[in-house]
Amino acid sequence: MNPEKIETAFSLMNQTIELLQQKLDTSFFDAYIENAENLVDGAKVRVIDQTPDQETVAKIEQSYQELLTLGLEKEEWRKVTQLLLLKGSKQETLQPNHQLTPDSLGFLFVFLIEQLILDKKAPVRILDIAAGMGNLLLTIVNNLQLAGYTIDASGVDVDDTLLAIAASDSALMEETIQLFHQDSLQDLLVDPVDFAIGDLPVGFYPNDEKARQFLTSSEKEHTYAHHLLMEQAMTYVKNDGFGLFLLPSNFLETEQAPLLQQWLGKEVFLQGIIQLPDELFKSEHSRKSILIVQKNGDVAQQAEKVLLVKLPTLKDPSKVKDFFKKFEDWKSSNL
């Protein structure tokens, strides 16, 4: 990956987004989507009612041509779009559940999935139950493809703006990903997958009637959305397949934890909990872990020793390498 090329591409994209934002009098994210759609549509600016004006159109399309001559690879496109979205997130405040999943966590998911793939030669089907802007899913898809796997990916999200960003980014990268704009807890038109993933939104799900269809539902109050999303996602996973979910580290200590444990004991095996480094989070309350669960099946069984590990840092390559070795040793002994 060429840092100079990425820096040049970021600058060109940023200029065109800012021009569109100004001339269309719109938000950063709407201008971002418009910009990406222009690029995919032959690198031509869409003009409606003479807006934007011809001078602006000429400037933007010149930048598009400069951008295309860079010949960005898929992962370079993803890096550029991530940097732009991080900039936009600072410009327009996003609620915590809408924040971009960092690259460091995306690459950790890539490692875990590659380790857990049961059939190395077959296509790998992945479902992101809370796709958001799509950075986690695209990080996984791009990098597993680079490792030689055939990937069939889909994502679901209820927020139309976030999903439009995910769609425009996947189009820029010429990635074929099925994206569904709907409540993730409604019935999904998704074929069974090998892996369910999610950087899960934290909070209460307001539809109590729908929640009652799940084992993790609460009779006393609204049910935690992240509990329901995990249960929902795993219904679309093949027998013996895995779920990898990012959720609050205190998930086994909350008032609704017994409801989650009831599901963990009946529908899936809890195989591992990876507590993420404190350095990634602003406060103790916001710390998260990756939960690894495996669906019941012919091969799956409860690991003799559940993986319980805390990653001290993701900044020291030697410490990360130590974790990789520890995970590989655990997998060979328990799965």
Q: Diameter of the chain by CA atoms? A: 67
pLDDT at 282: 80
Domain ranges of the chain: 3-91, 96-334
Whether residue 52 is preceded by a cis peptide bond, meaning omega within 30 degrees of 0, is yes
- Over pLDDT 90: what percentage of the chain? 87
Confidence at 5, pLDDT banded by 50, 70, 90: very high
User: What are the tens digits of pLDDT across the range 237-253?
Assistant: 999 999 999 999 999 89
Cα–Cα distance, 85 to 165 (Å, whole number): 9
Cα–Cα distance, 220 to 232 (Å, whole number): 21
pLDDT at 335: 87
**CATH of the structural domain 96-334, one choice from 2.40.50.140, 3.40.50.300, 3.40.50.150, 3.40.50.360:** 3.40.50.150
Going edge to edge, which strands form the sheet with 268-275?
Answer: 177-181, 151-157, 124-128, 193-199, 237-248, 288-295, 268-275, 307-310
pLDDT at 284: 76
Cα–Cα distance, 74 to 59 (Å, whole number): 25
- CATH number of the structural domain 3-91: 1.10.150.470
pLDDT at 118: 87
Between strands 193-199 and 177-181, the pairing is: unpaired
Calculate the average pLDDT of the chain: 94
Q: Determine contact, residues 15/21, Cβ cutoff 8 Å.
A: no
Spatial CA neighbour of 152 closest among 118, 122, 120, 187: 122
User: What are the tens digits of pLDDT across the range 27-62?
Assistant: 999 999 999 999 999 999 999 999 999 999 999 999
User: What are the tens digits of pLDDT across the range 117-144?
Assistant: 988 889 999 999 999 999 999 999 999 9
Spatial CA neighbour of 96 closest among 243, 285, 291: 285
- Over pLDDT 70: what percentage of the chain? 100
Token match 């990635």: residue? 175
Buried b / exposed e over 33-66, threshold 16 CB at 10 Å, is bbbbebbeeeeebeeeeeebeeebbeebbebbee
Q: How far is CA 232 from CA 128, 229, 315, in A?
A: 11, 5, 34
| Tokens (6 digits) for 172 | 């820029």
pLDDT at 237: 98
Q: What is the pTM of this model?
A: 0.94
Whether pLDDT at 112 is above 80:
yes
pLDDT at 281: 84
